[in-house]
A and B are shown apart, each in its own frame.
Chain A
């Protein structure tokens, strides 16, 4: 293995229908019009020296190293800023150019430490490379003059260091922060010799607006910005391309290694989801893999009040199998089930659902999508015919109007947010529909055209009001509807939304949104060019989550915003492989590829291959499993990579359900909260330790590649296989590629997927089959999967979770940039520096009424329970609305969320809970009891002396 070196073409690729042929150093090259000479030269195999240029950034033309001579033109223009023209004849190496470049390099080096041997980027430094490339042999000015060698270091960021003494003020970091990340946290302060890079208003990196995405570190051509891990370990010796295990963007990374030690994770430019960018989680927060709290040995206990006992893998697997068999023999086959993990690979989730269906003989399998995007699956399948988003991420580059509903991409999908911000800076318009003033409402160089700050729980009303305006003002694209959709259903729908009760004026009081804003937003979306809708859990996690998804689909169909780049309906999926987990048949009612278990033909495919009779009836969903456990008919569960106690609603109810079971098998990296109620703990492996694939929010299937041996001994798919074999259902896979081959053989949308194909193409978006051998970036071109698009009527049914005198505020929950989901991984990294506790956002008016000040401890109480946390007073939330995150188990935000759920899928209504907030001086009784119980539960018995 060697390091994966990606060629830097110096300036970004240009798209143009016109091509230009020119000659560079005697070589003819044809490139798209608008391409720089520097890039054309690189494509012709000629590397022009450069320092301030990078193909991740627009040309800047400051370093004066990339000068060239052009026949018939005076002077020595910079090749990065000079576009090609037909017939141009360029020389990149002449006596004049050599002298000029050497002179430039002398100036740089005269003010740069000559400590290459002890420098962290020795051997991986562009300044060093360029000194070599221009033949620099001495510095005529000497080194004694005024210089910056004493410039201070900024080590405030937990992950990287800024060493001002090594800075050449090329502005790459500043431009990366602006152009790639879109945060504008860095600038050049001062002029001439005094110029220097500063963060924020001359603050430390940590105190500034820097979001620690790493784009500046990646852009730096010297050791000025270096990863602390690189400084500590040394330069890597090989790298492996793999996929991030955090959010649904699915960033491609080069894991740069020294032996089995990760030196750094560097975003892969060829990654089609992230295009070379990253966020603070994927780029830096991988240290949990070696965290001291990781459990590496299997453990069992007879009762959850017992301490854990470390055992061999053989004993743990045999015990698990015997318990599951015992339970089925005593209580019936349907008394057990399993939960697949959206953090594990496609192959692993496929195997868990196979184990449940074929090994356990039941369909009681579910996944965390139950509590996030299950309404997306139901809603989009009903309207379009496929349970997935319609576009690729590149599509946003052709979007003119973005509607963003119930999603906060700068925190939850930061790399895609950067791409979105780039498009907005180019002039696209943004409509934000969200109770909170999320960052994208107003952020540097981005301002939403409209923010509709609706009351939590009124999504359907607002979307139907938008539809009302589109229909009654004659803004619908009837030509598209007639050609592509069920016209009769459209007419029925159009008559429905045209009713006066759906007018923005009628609904304004219920939704809290001014009618004029709704009308303006509807007009903009319908007639503003390519309109794309992006949405998140603020849409799905409601009692009408599925109806809201259908309302979104209706809007897109009515305006013709489907079936081409730049438009579409785009669910931003939460976890790294939540799309894949759904695709792989993790729901109790359907097999991989979204085929219902009652479908005889689909069932026959699996029965033939798996050599077992399968149940044609749907199984239990997670909340049903918990209810059934309390009821006494469900007694055993195998949970892979999911912490339902912390992530699912109404924690007390989840705890009651788990406590009622006789065998809870938790398969995870850490003793999570669910493990407090477990009888078996099977230690899991991280994404760094196994092979497989993840599927991101744009249906893109990407390889996960093992970079180190599993510290726990086995990859997760091997553990599931061990359990299956112990149960008497044989599995004999030798490698995950064989599991993918089985997925392809059984799942029409994956028929063309194999590891060889993925290696060849880099990644592929399903459907990938005979009709689409290279995958499907944009769906529903020409025709919907369902045939004709189906409009659904979206009656607004207010949630039964209402405010009143006891609980006068509405709580909504969400995520923050530095933390991920229940925080099991990110809490075990330095990311806690940014978010060490969950905070309650409360409006100044509501805070004043309660006598609360910034940082005060408050009690947050609902009908379900109560907890305490500190508050932050902010007008980011509207009066009457409070907000918190759910990343920390000592807060347990889900103690207060209720069991109200989506009508179609039982997706919990996390986004609407009636609460009261009051001053507090300490944890609640429940918190104290929980902490004590958790501590007792995590005891591990000492091994007997041998």
Chain B
């Protein structure tokens, strides 16, 4: 799938959780991706992260790093 589209979608999710408070955002994004994204989509955005993660907002990047563990 188009990585740019996945990055856009992940950043959208990040914007919602960012509004819920600093402490909720990383966990919120990670939990959302785990619950609602098909594994191949997660794998692709994690590969994008590994390749530098261009375009990812900081909170989303942190959430993906948590997911990658």
Contacts and interface: CB of A to CB of B under 8 A. Distances in A.
A619 B15 contact: no
A631 B40 CA distance: 11
Interface string B1-45: 110010001001101101111000000000010111111110000
A618 B35 contact: yes
Contacts of B1: 624, 627-628, 630-631
Contacts of A905: 36
A302 interface: no
Given A624-B1, A631-B1, A795 B38 contact: no
A904 B32 contact: yes
A598 B16 contact: no
Nearest to B40: A633
Given A624-B1, A628-B1, A547 B40 contact: no
A792 B1 CA distance: 32
A903 B38 contact: no
A694 B18 CA distance: 39
A104 interface: no
B40 A334 contact: yes
B38 A547 contact: no
Contact of A797 (B2, B15, B20, B38): B15
B40 A628 contact: yes
Contacts of A899: 5
Given A627-B2, A627-B5, A903-B9, A618 B36 contact: yes
A793 B19 contact: yes
B15 A364 contact: no
A543 interface: yes
Contacts of B5: 627, 899
Nearest to B38: A620
Contacts of A619: 38
A795 B13 contact: no
Given A364-B38, A619-B38, A904-B32, A795 B16 contact: yes
Nearest to B8: A800
Contacts of B9: 901, 903, 906
Contact of A547 (B16, B21, B36): B16
Interface string A889-919: 0000000000101011110000000000000
A617 B19 contact: no
Contact of A618 (B12, B18, B19, B38): B38
Contacts of B20: 792-793
B15 A618 contact: no
Nearest to A794: B19
B4 to A, nearest CB: 11
Contacts of B19: 793-795
B1 to A, nearest CB: 4
Interface size class of A (residues with CB under 8 A): 20 to 34
A228 B55 CA distance: 63
A904 B33 CA distance: 10
A719 to B, nearest CB: 27
Interface string A599-641: 0000000000000000001111100100110110100000000
A905 B35 CA distance: 11
B17 to A, nearest CB: 9
B7 to A, nearest CB: 13
Nearest to B6: A627
A684 interface: no
A904 B16 contact: yes
A904 B13 contact: yes
A254 interface: no
Contacts, number: 63
Interface size class of B (residues with CB under 8 A): 20 to 34
Nearest to B42: A617
A574 interface: no
Interface string A547-584: 10000000000000000000000000000000000000
B13 A598 contact: no
Contacts of B21: 492, 793
Contacts of B34: 598
B41 A624 contact: yes
A617 B38 contact: yes
A620 B39 CA distance: 9
A10 interface: no
A596 B1 CA distance: 24
A543 B12 contact: yes
Interface in A787-839: 792-795, 797
A792 B24 CA distance: 12
A414 interface: no
A546 B36 CA distance: 14
Contacts of A624: 1, 38, 41
A627 B18 CA distance: 27
A810 B40 CA distance: 35
A492 B20 CA distance: 9
B40 A795 contact: no
A589 interface: yes
A250 interface: no
A617 B9 CA distance: 19
B38 A598 contact: no
Contacts of B2: 627, 631
Contact of B12 (A334, A620, A792, A903): A903
A390 to B, nearest CB: 23
A795 B15 contact: yes
Nearest to A625: B38
A363 B36 CA distance: 11
A901 B35 CA distance: 18
A903 B39 contact: no
A588 interface: yes
Contacts of A547: 16
B38 A588 contact: yes
Contact of A903 (B16, B35, B41): B16
A589 B35 contact: yes
Nearest to A906: B9
A904 B15 CA distance: 11
B55 to A, nearest CB: 13
Contacts of B16: 546-547, 795, 797, 903-904
Contact of B13 (A363, A620, A621, A903): A903
A619 B41 CA distance: 10
A624 to B, nearest CB: 6
Given A624-B1, A627-B2, A631-B1, A618 B13 contact: no
Nearest to B2: A627
A363 B15 CA distance: 27
Contacts of B32: 904
Nearest to A590: B35
Contacts of A334: 38, 40
A367 to B, nearest CB: 15
B37 A903 contact: no
Interface in B40-63: 40-41
Contacts of A589: 35-36
Interface in A315-374: 334, 363-364
Contacts of A543: 12
Contacts of A588: 38
Nearest to B10: A903
A795 B2 CA distance: 27
Contact of B35 (A596, A621, A627, A628): A596
Contacts of A795: 15-16, 18-19
B52 to A, nearest CB: 20
A904 B40 contact: no
B15 A903 contact: yes
A136 to B, nearest CB: 71
Contacts of A797: 12, 15-16
Complex A-B, nearest 6 residue pairs according to Cβ-Cβ distance, in ascending order: A795-B19, A903-B12, A627-B1, A620-B38, A793-B19, A631-B1
13 contacts: A546-B16, A589-B35, A618-B36, A620-B38, A624-B41, A627-B1, A628-B1, A794-B19, A797-B16, A903-B9, A904-B13, A905-B36, A906-B9
Given A618-B38, A631-B2, 15 more contacts: A334-B38, A363-B38, A364-B38, A492-B21, A543-B12, A547-B16, A588-B38, A589-B35, A598-B35, A617-B38, A620-B38, A624-B38, A633-B40, A903-B9, A904-B36
